[in-house]
Structure 1
Amino acid sequence: MGNSIEILGLGAGDLDQLPFGVYKKLMKAKHVYLRTKEHPVVEDLVQEGLTFTSFDSIYEKHEQFEEVYQEIVHTLLQKVKEEPIIYAVPGHPLVAERTVQLLLEYGEKEAVDIKIGGGQSFVDALFQSLKIDPVDGFQLLDGTSLHSSQLQIEQHMFISQVYDQFVASNVKLTLMERLPDDYEVVIVTAAGSDAERIEKVPLYELDRKVTLDNLTSVYVPPVQDEQIMLKTFSKLREIIAVLRGPNGCPWDKEQTHETLKKYLIEETYEVIDAIDSGDIDHLIEELGDVLLQVMLHAQIGEDEGYFAIEDVIEGISAKMIRRHPHVFGNRKVENSDEVLLNWQEIKKQEKGETADSLLDGISMSLPNLIRAHEIQKKAAKVGFDWQEITPALEKVKEELEEFENEVKTNSLVNAKKEFGDILFAFVNVARFLKIHPEEALFETNEKFIRRFRFIEEKVKQSGKPIEDHSLEELDRFWDEAKLKGL
C-alpha cells in the first residue's frame, strides 16, 4: 500500500448505523487510530475485537482546537512513514472534520496517499430525527468558532461540536446577537441512535441544558417572524426592491440618481446633527436614512442593468484592503500620519493620476468652507504653506483691513471678493489649529439658534411683540442666555 492513510467514518451513532463496508475494514485492521474514543460505536467494536489508539489525551494538552488538530495530523504523518494507517473519525470524514482537511492538505505536500473510506454523516441523522428536507436550504456551522456574520437566520441552521456548557454559552451569546432571547432552539444528542435525545429549549437556557457530550448539535429553525427579519440585510434589500417594483410606491419608482442627490446631502447633515446631539437613538435613525439612500441608488443601478449592491460592497471591500496594507499586508506604520500618507500614495496609484494640477480632484459639490480646507491641505503637502500660525493670523488682519476699505468706498463688487478672502484666510487659521471650519460654523449656528429661542421665550413672557422690543432689550436677553451657558 505504500505511504497511505485510509480515513473511515464511524457514523453518527451506534453499531446499527455503521456501514458494513466500514465495519469490515475496521475489524480486519491490525490497529486503528481514533480521533476520539468517546463515541457510542467504539465500545461495541472493542467487544468484537477492535484494537486502537485514541488521541483524546492531546485535547488536554492544548487550549486551542487548532493546536490539537495540528498535533494529531503531525503524529499520523510520522506514523505513516512506518506502515499504512487506518484513521477513524466520528460521522463522515468529509463533514465537520478539521483533521481530515489538514491531512488532505499536508498529505499532498508529503506525497502521502489519503483515501476516504466513507461513513454516515451526523447531518443525515439530524435530517431524519428532525424530519427536515435539506432542499429548503440549510447551514452547517462549527460551534467552536461561531460568528454572528455567518448566520443565515432564514435557513435551517445546524451547529455542531456543542459538546459542553462553555461552547454552548458562546453559541447562545452569538445567536442572541441576531435572535430574541426566548427563541426556541433544539438540542439534539446522538441523533438516529438508540440513545437519541431531542429537547426544545428557549435560547437563553441553551447552556444550562447542554451536558458534556461530543455527539450534541443545536438546531435553529428558520425565522418566520417578520419583526426579527427586519434586522437582516436581505429583508432591507427586498423592501427597497418592492418599493421600486411594479406594485411599489409611485414616488420611489420615479426617483433617479440625479433627483436623489439633495436627499443624500440632507441626510448626511442629519447624521452630523445626531452625532453632535449625543443621542444614540437619533444617530441610529439617521444612519438608517443614509443607508436608505445608498440602497435606493443601488436598486436604481440594478433596475437599469448597470450595477447592484454587491458591486458597491465588493468595491469598498477591495478598496479598504488595498488601502490598509499595514493591516492586511506587510507594510509597517508608526502613526496615523503615516497611514494617511500611504492612503494618498495608494490612491494615486489606483487612479493612475496624471492630473495637470495638484488641486484637480477636489469636488465642486463640496460646501465651500470644506472645499477651501481641502484646497489648502493639498497645497500644504508640497510646502506651499506657512510654518507657523502667526503669518496666517496676520493674513486675516490684512484681508479684514482690505475689506473695510472696500466697504468704506461703497465698492460692493470688490467688497465681495475681499469678504471671500477673509473666509479663506480664516479657514487657513482653523487648519493650523486642527479646527474643522464646517464643524465650527455648525456649532456656532446651533448656539445662535439656542440663544435666539431663549430671546423668543423672554419676549413671549413680556406679552409684547418682538418688534416692540428695542435692540438693547434683546441684547440683554442675549447676555442672559450666555450667562445660562446656552
Structure 2
Amino acid sequence: MSQTCAPITIVGLGTGDEDQLTLGVWKKLQSVSSGQARLFLRTIDHPMVSLLTANQIPFQTFDSTYTAHGTFEQVYESIADQLLAAAGEQSEEIIYAVPGHPMVAEYTVQLLKERCGKQGISLNLLGGESFLDQAFLRFGFDPIEGFQLLDATRLNRYSLNPHLHTVIGQVYDTLTASDVKLTLMDVYPDDHHVVVGHSLGVSGQEEIVEVELHELDHLKGYGNLSLVWVPRSEEDSVHGRSFGRLHEIVQILRSPEGCPWDREQTHASLRKNLIEEAYEVLETIDEDDPDHMCEELGDLLLQVMLHAQMEEEIGTFTVYDVIATLNEKLIRRHPHVFGSNKAEDADEALMNWNAIKVEEKRKKGIDVSQQSVLDGVPRELPGLMKALKLQKKAATVGFDWSEAHEVLAKVEEELQELRQAMVSQESSAAREKLEELGDLLFSIVNLARFLKVDPEEAIAQTNRKFVKRFSYIEEQLRLRGKSFEQTDLSEMENYWQEAKKVTKLDT
C-alpha cells in the first residue's frame, strides 16, 4: 500500500435504537451523503439501516460475503481484505459500520487493527452503544459482581465460571443455541434457569424470555441481535460439579473448624487407604458397573486431594501444582501429539515416551548409564505385578526365554524343587519351602507373560470364580437348613461340582 491510501474509520451503529446512536457517529455517517466518504456495512440485518435509507445515505454491505464462504473466520478475513483494497483504490475516507461497539465481539475490527498499521493505512474508531450496555440495563445485573462475555461459536466448558454472570453473544440461530445448551449442560443442571434476549433496547422488537436450560433451543427468533444470559449462581447443584468446590470442601474438612478425623490424618495414616481405594476402582472395572465406578473413582480422587492438601498446609505444593506438573508431563511426553514427532503405532509412541524419560533423568543430573535396568519398579507393588514388571525390564536387554515351552519346563522344574523342599527334614526346610514357592510363582508369572496374560487379572478372575462357587455351596446349605458343622467334605464337594456346571452356564 502507498502512503496515499484512504483512511478507514470504523463506527459502531449501536444496539439498534436510533435514539441510542451517538452524535459523533451520526455526523460521520452523514458525511457520506456529501461525497466525503464511502460507507460499508458489515451486514444489512440491523435496525439502523432504515435510518440510513430514510436519510438517503448510500452504502454497500458484505452480506454476499457470508454466503461465499464456509466459516465465519473466512468471512471476516474476506471483509478485511476488501476494505483494505478499497482504501488503496480511492482517496475518500472509508467508513466501516458494525453493529454495537467496534471493540466488542467484532473480529473484523481486530484484523483491521493488525493490518492497517503494517500497510500504512490510517485507522480510526468511533464507539457506539454496545449490546453489553443494553444487556446490563435490560437483564438488570451489575457487572461489578463478576461478569464474562463469551462467543457462542467458541464456547467450551472450560471457559464457564458459575461464580460470574455470563453473557453469550453470537447466538445467530437455533443450531448455535443448541450447541450453547449442550455446552452449558456440562456445567449447569438441565433445569437451571437462563435468560434469552432478542433485539435488546429496540422498540417494538425487544423480547426477553426466561427458560430452563434444556428448553434453550426450543425458542424462536434467534438472530444477529440475540444474547443468552446465565446469571451467577452459588447453588450447590451448580458448584458441586466443579473441581474448585472439591478443593474447597477438602480444605474445610482439614481446617480447625472441620472434621476431627480428617484433621488427624497424615500421609502415613492414609497410606493403606490409597491402595484400598485403587483396588476398589479395579473391582468396579471387573464388574463393568459404571455407576459404582463413578463413586469409587471419587473415593480415589479424595485420597489424592487429601495428600495434596497436607502439603498445601505446610507450603510445599498445592493440588493445582500437581495438575500443572501432570499437564506439562503429558504434553512433553507426547511430542507425536503436541509436537512435530510422529508415532505410527502404540509401540513407537512407547519408545518416544521412554526416550523422553531418559532425557528427563539426564537433565536432573542422573547418570542413566549407572542405573540398573530394573530401576523404576515401585517397591510397594503387589507381588505378581512387580514380578511381571521386573521380567519385562530384564527382557529389554535380552535376558529372557525364547519360547513359551521353555518357560513351562522351568515351571515344572520349580514345582519339583518345591516338592523336594516339602519332604525335607532339615532345620532350614521352612525357609526353603518359602523360597521354592516364590520361585514357582515367579516362573508362573513368566509363563503368563509369554501367554500374554496379566497374572493379576488371571488370579482376580479365579478369585471371583471361587467366591461365586463357594457362595453356591452356602446357598444350598441355607436352602436345606444346614450349617457347615453339619456338613462333611464330600457333600460340599458335590455342591462344588454343581456350582462348576452352573457357573459355566452363566458364562
The alignment's TM-score, normalised by the length of structure 2, stands at 0.90
C-alpha change, 1:413 and 1:112, in structure 2 (3 Å) is farther
Identity score, percent: 48
> Which whole-Å deviations, capped at 9, do the CAs of 1:102-138 have from their partners, x for residues lacking one?
3334445555554433222211210011121101112
Partner SS for 1:81 = helix
Is 2:48 the partner of 1:41?
Answer: yes
CA contact (8 A) 2:199 2:225 kept: yes
Partner of 1:484: 502
Alpha-carbon RMSD across the aligned residues, in angstroms, is 2.0
2:272 maps to amino acid? K
Partner of 2:400: 385
1:65 maps to amino acid? F
1:230 maps to amino acid? G
230, 241, 246: which is aligned to 2:251? 241
Partner of 1:6: 9
What is the total number of aligned residue pairs between the two structures? 486
Q: Output the CA distance in 2 between the equivalents of 1:268 and 1:2.
A: 72
C-alpha change, 1:373 and 1:157, in structure 2 (3 Å) is same
Partner SS for 2:388 = helix
Partner of 2:472: 454
Is 2:60 the partner of 1:53?
Answer: yes
CA positional deviation for 1:393: 1.7
Q: Output the CA distance in 1 between the equivalents of 2:266 and 2:30.
A: 71
Partner of 1:136: 145
C-alpha change, 1:473 and 1:146, in structure 2 (3 Å) is same
433, 437, 452: which is aligned to 2:451? 433
Partner of 2:30: 27
Partner of 2:416: 401
Is 2:77 the partner of 1:70?
Answer: yes
2:166 maps to amino acid? M
Partner of 1:228: 238
> Which whole-Å deviations, capped at 9, do the CAs of 1:133-186 have from their partners, x for residues lacking one?
101112211112222332222321111111221211222222233333332221
Q: Output the CA distance in 2 between the equivalents of 1:384 and 1:108.
A: 67
CA positional deviation for 1:381: 1.8
Q: Output the CA distance in 1 between the equivalents of 2:179 and 2:155.
A: 8
Partner SS for 2:503 = coil
Partner of 1:283: 293
> Which whole-Å deviations, capped at 9, do the CAs of 1:400-453 have from their partners, x for residues lacking one?
122212222242212211211111111111112221111211221121112112
CA positional deviation for 1:242: 1.2
348, 354, 368: which is aligned to 2:367? 354
C-alpha change, 1:14 and 1:389, in structure 2 (3 Å) is same
> Which whole-Å deviations, capped at 9, do the CAs of 1:341-393 have from their partners, x for residues lacking one?
11111122123252421211211011121111111111122222223322222
CA contact (8 A) 2:193 2:210 kept: yes
C-alpha change, 1:12 and 1:387, in structure 2 (3 Å) is farther
C-alpha change, 1:210 and 1:177, in structure 2 (3 Å) is farther
CA positional deviation for 1:212: 4.3
CA positional deviation for 1:56: 1.0
Partner of 1:340: 350
C-alpha change, 1:102 and 1:421, in structure 2 (3 Å) is farther
Q: Output the CA distance in 2 between the equivalents of 1:389 and 1:76.
A: 74
Is 2:223 the partner of 1:213?
Answer: yes
Q: Output the CA distance in 1 between the equivalents of 2:431 and 2:442.
A: 17
CA contact (8 A) 2:198 2:222 kept: no
Q: Output the CA distance in 1 between the equivalents of 2:89 and 2:182.
A: 46
Partner SS for 2:133 = helix
293, 301, 304: which is aligned to 2:303? 293
Q: Output the CA distance in 2 between the equivalents of 1:243 and 1:396.
A: 52
Where do 5+ consecutive residues of structure 1 fail to align? none
Partner SS for 1:40 = coil
CA positional deviation for 1:318: 1.2
Partner of 2:187: 178
Q: Any residues of structure 2 matched to 1:306-317 within 5 Å, and which?
A: 306-317=316-327
Partner SS for 2:253 = helix
Partner of 2:384: 369
C-alpha change, 1:451 and 1:122, in structure 2 (3 Å) is same
Where do 5+ consecutive residues of structure 2 fail to align? none
Partner of 2:438: 420
Partner of 2:126: 117
152, 166, 169: which is aligned to 2:161? 152
CA positional deviation for 1:232: 2.0
Partner SS for 2:208 = strand
> Which whole-Å deviations, capped at 9, do the CAs of 1:32-81 have from their partners, x for residues lacking one?
22211211112212333432221111111233222222222222233333
